[in-house]
C-alpha cells in the first residue's frame, strides 16, 4: 500500500503539468486575448469622446489620428506589463516555476493576487458544496438502500416518481422556482434573495450569526441538492440490488444470519464501493462547476462565478490559477478515494492489479 501511495503521489506532478500545458496551448490559439479586450474598451471610449467633440470636425479628426499614433506604443506597453513580450514557452515555464511555490500570479483586471481572490471566494463555494454534498448523501444512501430492500413495493414506486422528477429538473430551474415561491418572487418572502449573510451580520450574536448563515444558505443548497440526490439514489439502489442477489448473500442467509447482519456485514461493504468511487468527481462537480449557475442566480460571489468571469475576460492568471488548484484537489481526492476503497475492502490491491 505504501508503494502504491508513493507511485500515485509521483504521478501527480506530470499529470498537473500535462493538463496545464494542454490548456495553455488551447488558450494561446483562442482569439481575443486580454490586450485585445482592453484595446476594444479604449476604442469605445475614444469613439464616445470623438462623438462629443463633434464627429466630423477638425478637432475630432485630430483626436482620432492621435489615438491611432498611440495605439502601437500602448499595445507594446501592455504586452510588456502582462508578459506577452516573451515567447510562449518562456511564459509557460515561468508560470510552472511560480506554481511550484503556489505563487499564482496577479489578476490582469482586478489588480490583486490570484491566491487572495481564491481565498476570498472560497467560503461561499465551500459552504454550498459542503452542505449540499452532506444533504445529498444523507438523503440518497438511506433512501437507495430502502428502495433496494423493498424493490417493487408501493414505497419504491412513489419514491421513484419523486426521483425521476428530481432528475428531470435542472438545479438552476429549481432555484428559480424556489425564488418565485419563497424569496419574494410572487408569493412568500421567507428567505433572502442574495448574499451569504445579512448586512448587519457582524452585529449579531453567535447564535444569530448561525441562524442568519443557514437562512441565506437554505434555498441555494436545496437547489443544488435536488439535482444531485436523484442520481446517487438510483446508483445506491442498483448497487445494493446487484449485491443482494449474489450467491454469497444467499449463503449467509442459509447459515441463519440475521437480515441486518447480512446487509451491513456483507452487502453494505461491497455495494458502497461504486458509490465511494464516484465521490471525488461528485465533490469536484458540486464544489466548482455545479454551483456556477446557483451562484449567479442567488448573487453568491464564489469560485464558480470567479472562474466564469475570468474566462470571459481572458484573465489568464485567474484561469490557470483556479485550474491548477482544482486539478490538484481532484487528483488528491481520487487518491483518497482509492485508499478508502482499500480500507473498506482489504481484498482490493491496486498495486498488484497495476503490476498484473
What homologous superfamily is domain 120-355 in, according to CATH?
Answer: MetI-like (1.10.3720.10)
All 3 cell numbers of residue 330?
481532484
pLDDT for the residue numbered 189: 81
Does residue 63 register a pLDDT over 50?
Answer: no
Q: Where are the domains of the chain?
A: 35-85, 120-355
The predicted structure's pLDDT at residue 286: 62
Q: Structure pTM?
A: 0.71
pLDDT band at residue 78 under the 50/70/90 scheme: low
Q: Using 50, 70 and 90 to split pLDDT, how confident is the model at 53?
A: very low
Asked whether 257 and 204 are in contact (CB, 8 A), the reply is: no
Kindly tell me if the per-residue pLDDT of 100 is higher than 50: yes
CA distance 339 to 39: 51
Question: How far is the C-alpha of 108 from the C-alpha of 38, rounded, in Å?
Answer: 10
Residue count of the chain, please give it. Answer: 356
Least reliable range by pLDDT among 191-200, 261-270, 346-355: 346-355
**Quick check: 172 and 166 in contact, CB under 8 A?**
no
Q: Which residue in this structure is represented by grid cell 444523507?
A: 138
57-66, 102-111, 233-242, 339-348: least confident range? 57-66
Kindly tell me if the per-residue pLDDT of 289 is higher than 50.
Answer: yes
Is the pLDDT at 24 greater than 80? The verdict is yes
pLDDT the model gives residue 277:
67
Q: Is residue 284's pLDDT more than 70? A: no
Res 60: pLDDT: 46
Say if residue 324's pLDDT is above 70: yes
pLDDT at 335 over 60: yes
Band the pLDDT of 65: cuts 50, 70, 90. Answer: very low
Evaluate if residue 269 carries a pLDDT over 60: yes
Q: How confident is the model at residue 176 (pLDDT cuts 50, 70, 90)?
A: confident
Burial of residue 329 (CB within 10 Å: 0-12, 13-18, 19+) is: middle
The chain-wide mean pLDDT, for the chain, equals 78
Confidence of residue 58 (pLDDT cuts 50, 70, 90): very low
Higher pLDDT, 45 or 222: 222
pLDDT band per the 50, 70, 90 thresholds, residue 70:
low
Query: What integer pLDDT is reported at residue 266 of this predicted model?
Result: 73
Q: Which residues, 6 or more positions from 144, have their beta carbon under 8 angstroms from its beta carbon?
A: 232, 233, 234, 235, 236, 237, 239, 240
Residue 241 CA: distances (Å) to CA of 147, 159, 235, 271: 9, 16, 10, 9
Q: What's the rounded mean pLDDT across residues 148-173? A: 85
Mean pLDDT, residues 174-198: 81
- Is pLDDT of 57 > 50? no
**Pairwise CA distance, residues 351 & 4, whole Å:** 5
Mean pLDDT (whole number) for 264-275: 76
Long-range contacts of 30-36 (CB under 8 A, 24+ apart): 32/314, 33/84, 33/314, 33/316, 34/82, 34/108, 34/109, 34/313, 34/314, 34/315, 34/316, 35/75, 35/78, 35/79, 35/82, 35/84, 36/314
Amino acid at each position: 500500500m505504501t508503494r502504491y501511495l508513493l507511485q500515485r503521489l509521483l504521478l501527480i506532478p506530470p499529470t498537473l503539468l500535462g493538463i496545464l500545458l494542454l490548456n495553455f496551448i488551447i488558450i494561446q490559439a483562442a482569439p481575443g486575448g486580454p490586450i485585445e479586450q482592453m484595446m476594444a474598451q479604449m476604442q469605445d471610449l475614444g469613439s464616445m469622446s470623438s462623438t462629443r467633440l463633434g464627429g466630423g470636425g477638425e478637432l475630432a479628426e485630430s483626436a482620432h489620428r492621435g489615438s491611432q499614433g498611440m495605439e502601437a506604443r500602448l499595445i507594446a506597453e501592455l504586452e510588456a506589463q502582462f508578459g506577452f513580450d516573451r515567447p510562449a514557452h518562456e511564459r509557460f515555464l515561468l508560470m510552472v516555476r511560480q506554481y511550484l511555490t503556489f505563487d499564482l500570479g496577479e489578476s490582469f483586471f482586478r489588480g490583486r493576487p490570484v491566491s487572495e481572490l481564491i481565498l476570498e471566494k472560497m467560503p461561499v463555494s465551500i459552504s454550498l458544496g459542503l452542505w449540499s454534498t452532506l444533504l445529498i448523501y444523507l438523503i440518497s444512501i438511506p433512501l437507495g438502500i430502502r428502495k433496494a430492500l423493498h424493490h417493487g413495493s408501493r414505497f419504491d414506486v412513489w419514491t421513484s416518481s419523486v426521483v425521476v422528477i428530481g432528475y428531470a429538473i435542472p438545479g438552476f430551474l429549481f432555484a428559480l422556482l424556489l425564488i418565485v415561491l419563497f424569496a419574494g418572487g410572487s408569493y412568500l418572502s421567507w428567505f433572502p434573495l442574495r448574499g451569504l449573510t445579512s448586512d448587519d451580520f457582524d452585529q449579531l450574536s453567535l447564535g444569530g450569526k448561525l441562524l442568519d448563515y443557514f437562512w441565506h444558505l437554505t434555498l441555494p443548497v436545496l437547489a443544488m441538492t435536488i439535482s444531485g440526490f436523484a442520481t446517487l439514489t438510483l446508483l445506491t439502489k442498483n448497487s445494493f440490488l446487484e449485491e443482494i442477489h449474489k450467491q454469497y448473500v444467499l449463503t449467509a442467509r442459509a447459515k441463519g444470519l440475521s437480515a441486518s447482519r447480512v446487509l451491513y456485514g456483507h452487502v453494505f461493504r461491497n455495494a458502497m464501493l461504486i458509490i465511494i468511487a464516484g465521490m471525488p468527481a461528485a465533490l469536484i462537480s458540486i464544489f466548482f462547476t455545479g454551483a456556477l449557475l446557483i451562484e449567479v442566480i442567488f448573487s453568491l460571489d464564489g469560485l464558480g462565478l470567479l472562474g466564469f468571469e475570468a474566462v470571459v475576460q481572458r484573465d489568464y492568471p485567474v484561469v490557470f490559477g483556479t485550474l491548477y488548484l482544482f486539478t490538484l484537489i481532484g487528483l488528491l481526492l481520487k487518491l483518497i478515494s482509492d485508499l478508502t476503497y482499500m480500507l473498506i475492502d482489504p481484498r482490493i490491491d491496486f498495486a498488484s492489479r497495476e503490476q498484473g
